[in-house]
Amino acid sequence: MADAVVIPGGRFGPGAPLLMYAGDVAELRGATVHRYSWSQKFPAAGQPEIEGWVGGEVVPLIDTIGGRPLLIGKSLGTNAAAIAAERSLPAVWLTPLLDLPWVADALDRATAPFLLVGGTADKRWDGDIARRLSPHVLEVEGADHGMYVPGPLTESIAVLSRVVLAVEEFLDAIGWPG
């Protein structure tokens, strides 16, 4: 049996649409999905100690699960990239904080495949860095950190559909669960 761990961002929990649907993709493949919620208010998100704080929050869950779960993280949750790198865990990183050097460095050390999803209007995203780090990238023109695009809300809902498709294609490409 496969497992997936959903690691939220700072503003919304694991039931936010991007995380909910990405987790649903894993669940539809037979995985048990563990949707994590922060146990306490997180420290300043842009400081290096946030990486250790995120690790302290999610490592006990990962250890309880055992094996090699798929990690699915958004924004603040992408500070778990070091855990994925250390444990060779596959991952889906939604709106990763590529502007934080420790996140980019952890992604650079990763040996397991990972998907990066971001938008060109997100100041935390860098498409050139993303494409250097992984062959699995979805970059959405005009999308902000929430993956919203200008115009009618239906356009942003269409982006959510593109993210779901990218997650499905990524998991197919790496044979997960295998």
Query: How confident is the model over 94-131, as pLDDT tens digits?
Result: 999 999 999 999 999 999 999 999 999 999 999 999 99
Closest CA to 90 of 151, 153, 2, 155: 2
Report the domain count for the chain: 1
Pairwise CA distance, residues 75 & 31, whole Å: 23
Q: Say whether pLDDT at 6 is over 90.
A: yes
**Cβ atoms within 10 Å of 173's Cβ, excluding its own:** 12
Pairwise CA distance, residues 151 & 80, whole Å: 33
Q: Which CATH number goes with the domain that contains 47?
A: 3.40.50.1820
* Mean of pLDDT over the chain: 95
Q: Say whether pLDDT at 165 is over 70.
A: yes
Give the burial class of 150: count Cβ atoms within 10 A of its Cβ; 0-12 exposed, 13-18 middle, 19 or more buried: exposed
* Structural domain boundaries, residue 85: 3-174
Sheet (strand 70-74) strand order: 32-35, 3-7, 70-74, 91-94, 114-119, 137-140
| pLDDT score for 158 | 98
For residue 30, the SS3 value is coil
Query: How confident is the model over 34-70, as pLDDT tens digits?
Result: 999 998 777 766 778 889 999 999 999 999 998 999 9
| pLDDT score for 45 | 67
